């Protein structure tokens, strides 16, 4: 079976944009506003000549904050079961939020390898924003811009180090 990478995180951090960037096609729907998207999308991808499977997690992103957190946790749980490595996406512009902490707790308990992607670091000046995310407790964090593609190669190298 192919190695499986799951992309998890709260709504609007850029999971689907990263998924599309990794698979090289626009498969996942990128939403400007949180909305109703398919629960999970699977695709094959290739990095440095190796084929792997990627899962984008989404689901219903509307409702009260605690409902959203619950649904994100549920999607994360399903993805964790299937994944060999988890990419935990957070938003550099928001810093660590309570919803991020809820997901982190779940990921931490799973014991699966987690690589933190600090997304929306679109230029060098924004890179300092990544340091807040070290307190999530998953070690190294990787600044990326899913929009521009910067940092995604280093992120995938870190993911592949776990296969
Ligand atoms: P998801 O809900 O986590 O799947 O997030 P989406 O991929 O749908 O993206 C949510 C919003 O963030 C969209 O408006 C994206 O265009 C935007 N976005 C995603 N990645 C980046 C990035 O690297 N930089 C910036 N500036 N915006 C981004
Ligand atoms: Mg999405």
Terminus-to-terminus CA distance in the chain, angstroms? 12
CATH numbers and ranges of domains, the chain: 4-160 (3.40.50.300)
Among 10, 16, 30, name the best residue to mutate to test ligand 1's pocket (greatest count of ligand atoms within 8 A of Cβ).
30
The pair of structure tokens assigned to 83 is 């994944």
Nearest in space to 116 (alpha carbons), one of 69, 149, 151, 81? 151
Q: Helix, strand, or coil here: 77?
A: helix
pLDDT band of residue 60 (cuts 50, 70, 90) is low
* Distance in angstroms (rounded) separating the CA atoms of residues 1 and 8: 21
Residue labelled with tokens 């933190």: 116
39 pLDDT higher than 80: no
Nearest atom in ligand 1 to 31's CA = 8
The pair of structure tokens assigned to 22 is 């990794």
Distance 153 CA to ligand 1 centre (A): 18
What ligand has the least distance to the C-alpha of 62? Answer: 1
Backbone angles phi, psi at 63, to 5 degrees: 125, -175
Q: So what's the ipTM on this one?
A: 0.99
The neighbourhood of ligand 2, an ion, using CB within 5 A, equals 15-16, 58
Q: What is the mean pLDDT of residues 19-36?
A: 79
pLDDT band of residue 157 (cuts 50, 70, 90) is very high
What ligand has the least distance to the C-alpha of 34? Answer: 1
Distance 102 CA to ligand 2 centre (A): 18
Nearest atom in ligand 1 to 61's CA = 2
């Amino acid at each position: 079976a192919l190695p499986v990478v799951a992309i998890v995180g709260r709504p609007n951090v850029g999971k689907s944009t990263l998924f599309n960037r990794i698979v090289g096609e626009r498969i996942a729907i990128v939403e400007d506003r949180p909305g109703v998207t398919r629960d999970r999308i699977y695709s094959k991808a290739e990095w440095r000549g190796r084929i792997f499977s990627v899962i984008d997690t989404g689901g219903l992103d509307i409702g009260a904050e605690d409902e959203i957190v619950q649904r994100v946790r549920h999607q994360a749980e399903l993805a964790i079961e299937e994944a060999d490595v988890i990419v935990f996406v957070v938003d550099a512009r928001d810093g660590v939020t309570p919803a991020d902490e809820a997901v982190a707790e779940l990921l931490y308990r799973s014991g699966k390898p987690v690589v933190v992607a600090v997304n929306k670091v679109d230029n060098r000046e924004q890179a300092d924003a990544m340091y807040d995310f070290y307190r999530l407790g998953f070690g190294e964090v990787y600044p990326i811009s899913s929009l521009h593609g910067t940092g995604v190669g280093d992120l995938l190298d870190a993911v592949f180090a776990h296969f």
